[in-house]
Chain A
Amino acid sequence: MNVDGIREMVKSGKSVEEVIQSLFDKIERSKLNAFITLAKEQALEEARRVDKHGAKGMLGAIPIAIKDCISTRGIQTTCGSKILEGYVPPYDAHVIERLKADGAIIIGKTNMDEFAMGSSTETSYFGPTRNPCDLSRVPGGSSGGSAAAVAGGEVPIALGSDTGGSVRCPASFCGVVGLKPTYGLVSRYGLIAYANSLEQIGPFARNVKDVALLLDVIAGYDPRDSTSMDKKCEYTKELRDDVSDVKIGVPKEFFGEGIDEDVEKAVWSGIKVLEDLGASYTEISLPHTKYSLAAYYIIAMSEASSNLARFDGLRYGLRLGKDKDWHTTFSEIRANGFGEEVKRRILLGTYALSAGYYGRYYLKALKVRTLIKRDFEVALKDTSVLITPTMPFPAFKIGEKIGDPLALYLADVNTVPINLAGVPSISVPCGFVGKLPIGMQIIGRHFDEATILRTAHAFERNTGG
């Protein structure tokens, strides 16, 4: 079920209310646990309004699911954490304003790793989400709820956020399309920060066209986000069926050790498909890739340790019965409200920023980041896109890696360099290992979402996706 599918249903005589209601029926019977909060009343009311007065905008009457770290006025927003249970934002994120202005109907907030810290959606306080392709497996993360909801046919499109792969990883594991925009293309106003300098809100859909459509709606300059840039174009119009001008770079550091053989094979055959369509490819090198995981985790955890300091239970969120003095109360609230992985990252981040360690860790990580950014700029001078496996392996079993944080961090090896460089990247399904989907990552130049969308679109049309 994609955007066109919904439009067909309405055209063939179903009311919008019936369509939305059928989604809620499906979600309520679902075993996926893709949603934390359903906005049933608001969504059905909006549907009835559309049935009466007609739809408006690019997403008129299209239902959408929103990752639970994006602020929605009047709808609980928890970031998958106990500490924010019951927090109802009094304002809409920029992307939510855009969606509403273009007629989208928000049906609910999706499950995620707590504060987006994870690659499996298992660290959520609200329980793990299951992969629709195999219920015993994780959907990836941290935007696992959004990816699973789209893959499971519970909603046609969804928003996630991507700090180090959190859109692309679950897109890959669930067999849907997911895009991380260039840093600065989509306003972060209202996105509850995990690591501000790395993350972007990104769209999920079942095909590239719908991803482009959703990007058309959410991208654009917002004066409320100082890192936002006025660089948007009309992405749906860029999806012409021609990749003859596309020069593909294949970075050798993203293949080989640690990458599942089947995954590598599927991505290579994807590259061959594009070659058959007229694109050319060369093997290239991104020499500083091996430092990216370390740099990424230092920067992300450092920023996170500061971002998460505001959750003290004083103004919103978790309260624990009787208040004691300030220090005791906020310490107890944080001890009680945060999960293990969040605490681990706050501690590591605090350590990395401490006097005497700042230069050794944080500053060094920023220097590495500059080198990695330069790697990409150099590589993308002679090529128009880079293609790699999105994830080193397909979806793993629930519980399989949760006890081994380091193994989980290693899963991000192909996605985090992209966030460090700030370039855009899309994951498209490119095959299966058994019934488990494989994702192919197409990386582009800064603000050149058009080319990666067009390449992904051409690939998808010629592989029956």
Chain B
Amino acid sequence: MKPQSYELHMLLSETPGDEMKDVIIGLEVHVQLNKLRSKLFCSCSTQYHDSEPNMCTCPVCLGLPGALPVINEKAVDSAIKVALALNCNIEEQIMFYRKNYYYPDLVKGFQISQYDYPIAMDGKISIEADGEREIRIKRVHMEEDPGRLIHVGTIDRSRYSLIDYNRSGVALLEVVTEPDLRTPKEARLFLNKLRNILEYLDVFDGSLEGSLRVDANISLAGGARAEIKNISSYKGVEKALLFETVRQKNLVRRGIRVAQETRHYDEVRGITISLRTKEEEKDYRYFPEPDLVPLRIGDRVDDIKRALPELPDAKRQRLVKQYDISDHHAKVLTSELKLANFFERVATKVDANLSATWIADVLKGELNYRGIGIDAFSPEHMIQILQMLKNDKITEKGAVQVIRTILDEGGAPPEIVKRKGLLKIEESIITRAVAEVIKENPAAVKDYHDGKNEALHFLMGQVMKKTHGRADPSMVSKLLKEKL
């Protein structure tokens, strides 16, 4: 293994504006079916995130001698859902295989996975990179999650590691793409789209720690392929691929052959490091799991297909058509099922276009800024705010202030408007206040006519005072100038 400083040096020596069109990327995405109540082969809970280490375990998921796996049929149904949503061909009968390798997080010395007869093959997802791009899905298969290793320090320097088997046996879905991705950004877009679909299907919660892990294969056209193992965040995938692209290009530029190897992504340092070369590649000795019988699934596919929910692309098209909103807004709104549902609740009560703008542009922006989800905001509140805006009760600025107040302090719109004095004052009241102020301040009026600009500011201040600050300042200024 080369010293990391050397790799960093190479990264820094990259010349900007380098073309990326000759990059070939394929992903193996592991997602936890964490909306299931129990694990893939036992009845232990999948909700282990708040548990003490190794408490959500039983003889089966600890791989104790003599314990036997039993397939969780709900997991199979979830996998079928995903396969349908990814436009895959679904196998009539599926089988489980043993993937044999030694690792301390693997309780049985093998992982129950799929090999021949996986749940599905040959699907596709479209992503919007520069224009719409179709990414082919090679296969989708089910397997059990290993436990979790907690390295003290980093993987290559750790003195010892701790193991938590709570995760052991949780159902994983592995989605394997063809090498159709061309840039690290496309990889990220693909992952976002995949997550979006999985959340629409209600089989996956991407917000949970460790719910997604990616192995990325990357090569330059004609060159050897590096596999970056176990990247555990969406952003990490893009960063790791970016680093790897640059590293490989630099090697090529220097006339050094890119080695076929497995690399590890160090999230903290933002670099990839070599784990093993091809000569050390493992032979997993797959063979059919004798403790599980082949499972016929062909006859349940139709029922599951009928019950499939509306998926992101279809929803986006429908929103444009049904509510006459822009495609851009529809895209933002459908990027998250909850957001789309939120929009539809609001749009049935107030103007759809106004709703789309305020939810997709304003509210989403405020949520992103705070790093929180749409759950933090009630659609009823949004309806109230937009109704007030529409009825000219508050200004746009006032509406933004209400949204921010709800997010930062809590409370309900009418009460906030009242407390913060955001109710917009009618023009007639401002006109009356302007007339009074002109009458009461002849000296200032004279100064104004003498060309002293400060006088206007003084008069405006007096109007604002009379209207308790609820007047729209631009309107006050306009009316004052007219009357003077």
Contact = CB atoms under 8 A, between A and B. Distances in A.
Interface in B269-292: 283, 285-287, 290-292
Given A224-B70, A306-B287, A353 B100 contact: yes
B135 to A, nearest CB: 29
A191 B102 contact: no
Which of B63, B64, B67, B68 counts the most chain A CB atoms within 10 A?
B68
Given A91-B59, A354-B283, A310 B65 contact: yes
B109 A90 contact: no
Contacts of B109: 306, 308-312
Contacts of A224: 68, 70
Interface centre among A69, A87, A312 (most CB of B within 10 A): A312
B226 to A, nearest CB: 22
A326 B290 contact: no
A69 B68 CA distance: 14
Given A226-B291, A306-B285, A353-B287, A193 B71 contact: no
Contacts of A227: 290-291, 293
Most buried by A among B62, B69, B285, B293: B285
Question: Which of B66, B71, B102, B163: most chain A CB closer than 10 A?
Answer: B66
| Minimum-distance CB pairs A-B, first 10 | A309-B109, A197-B290, A353-B285, A196-B290, A192-B65, A190-B66, A71-B66, A310-B108, A310-B109, A192-B66
A296 interface: no
Nearest to A350: B285
A309 B287 contact: no
Contacts of B298: none
Nearest to A223: B70
A310 B63 CA distance: 7
Given A353-B285, A353-B287, A309 B110 contact: yes
A90 B98 contact: no
B104 interface: yes
B68 A362 contact: no
Contacts of A388: none
Interface in B17-49: none
A316 interface: yes
B108 A191 contact: no
Nearest to B59: A91
A105 to B, nearest CB: 21
Given A310-B108, A330-B102, A316 B285 contact: no
A12 to B, nearest CB: 39
A226 B65 contact: no
B289 to A, nearest CB: 9
B62 A309 contact: no
B392 to A, nearest CB: 66
B291 A310 contact: no
Nearest to A355: B283
B198 to A, nearest CB: 27
Contact of B287 (A79, A226, A308, A362): A362
Interface of B: 59, 62-71, 98, 100, 102, 104, 107-110, 163, 283, 285-287, 290-293
Contacts of A310: 63, 65, 107-109
Contact of B65 (A71, A314, A330, A353): A71
B282 to A, nearest CB: 10
A312 B293 CA distance: 27
Interface string A13-54: 000000000000000000000000000000000000000000
A182 to B, nearest CB: 15
A312 B102 contact: yes
B152 to A, nearest CB: 14
A192 B64 CA distance: 9
Given A226-B292, A358-B287, A79 B100 contact: no
Interface on chain A toward B: helix, strand, loop, or mixed SS? loop
Given A89-B66, A225-B291, A305-B285, 10 more contacts: A79-B65, A89-B64, A91-B59, A188-B68, A189-B68, A226-B68, A315-B107, A327-B102, A353-B100, A354-B283
B67 A189 contact: yes
Contacts, number: 101
B71 A90 contact: no
A302 interface: yes
Nearest to B107: A310
Contact of B67 (A190, A306, A316, A358): A190
26 contacts: A69-B66, A71-B66, A87-B65, A89-B59, A89-B65, A93-B66, A188-B66, A191-B66, A192-B65, A192-B66, A225-B68, A225-B70, A226-B71, A226-B291, A226-B292, A227-B291, A305-B285, A306-B285, A310-B65, A314-B104, A316-B64, A327-B102, A330-B102, A354-B283, A355-B285, A358-B285
A84 interface: yes
A77 interface: yes
Contacts of B63: 310, 315
B464 to A, nearest CB: 73
Chain A: interface size category: 35 or more
A303 interface: yes
Interface in A255-287: none
Nearest to A227: B293
A365 to B, nearest CB: 11
Contacts of A70: 66
B263 to A, nearest CB: 20
B280 to A, nearest CB: 12
A189 B41 CA distance: 13
Contacts of A189: 66-68
A428 B98 CA distance: 38
A92 to B, nearest CB: 10
B285 A354 contact: yes
B402 to A, nearest CB: 56
Contacts of B62: 315
Contact of A196 (B70, B100, B102, B291): B291
A335 B99 CA distance: 22
Contacts of A306: 98, 100, 109-110, 285, 287
Nearest to B283: A355
A225 B66 CA distance: 10
B69 A309 contact: no
A309 B108 contact: yes
Given A306-B100, A306-B285, A354-B283, A226 B66 contact: no
Nearest to A362: B287
B72 to A, nearest CB: 12
A226 B285 contact: no
A226 B70 contact: yes
Chain B CB within 10 Å, residue with most, of A69, A193, A362: A193
Nearest to B289: A196
Contact of B100 (A77, A84, A192, A309): A309
A245 to B, nearest CB: 33
Contacts of A69: 66
B100 A226 contact: no
A146 B201 CA distance: 54
A319 B163 CA distance: 17
A226 B293 contact: yes
Contacts of A91: 59, 64, 67
Contacts of A327: 102
A390 to B, nearest CB: 25
Nearest to B63: A310
Interface in A71-89: 71, 77, 79, 84, 87, 89
Nearest to A326: B104
A190 B100 CA distance: 22
Contacts of B68: 188-189, 224-226
A70 B98 CA distance: 23
A24 B329 CA distance: 82
Interface in A310-324: 310-312, 314-316
Nearest to B41: A226
Nearest to A302: B287
A165 B285 CA distance: 27
Interface string A309-353: 111101110000000001100100000000000000000001001
A315 to B, nearest CB: 7
**Residue with the greatest number of chain A CB neighbours at <10 A, chosen from B102, B107, B293:** B102
